[in-house]
Amino acid sequence: MSYKEKKVLPIGSVSELTGLSLRKIRYYEERGLILPERSGGGTRKFSFNDVEKLMDIANQIEDGMQTFEIKKMYKKDKQKDKGKIRDEMIRGQLNAAFKMSK
């Protein structure tokens, strides 16, 4: 297993790397978008993969997507289901295009 998958970063480092507030990061976990591990004492430990995922999430949130939609996308992404996901993909792109047009 490479470094990118190791769950070792504290939430403070993740916040600095992503630019997201601690509140946002915890909330995205609460919604099941990311799954950090926990130390014996209960503190969250993230991987660099989580960091990358969070940056993607941040973009999708900016595009007006909702957490449950994003979560669905990741689920579909995993099972490589090219069907229903299309709606969200297109919706995401439309939102992005709309945003840029302003």
Binding residues for its own copies, rule: CB under 8 A, are: 3-4, 6, 8-10, 12-13, 16-17, 39, 45, 48
- In the block, residue with structure tokens 């997507």: 65
12 binds DNA (CB under 7 A): yes
Contact predicate 14/51, CB 8 Å: yes
34 binds DNA (CB under 7 A): no
**What size, in residues, is the chain?**
102
Retrieve residue 5's tokens. Answer: 């998958």
For binding to DNA (CB under 7 A), which residues are involved? Answer: 10-13, 21-24, 26-28, 31, 39-44, 61, 66-68
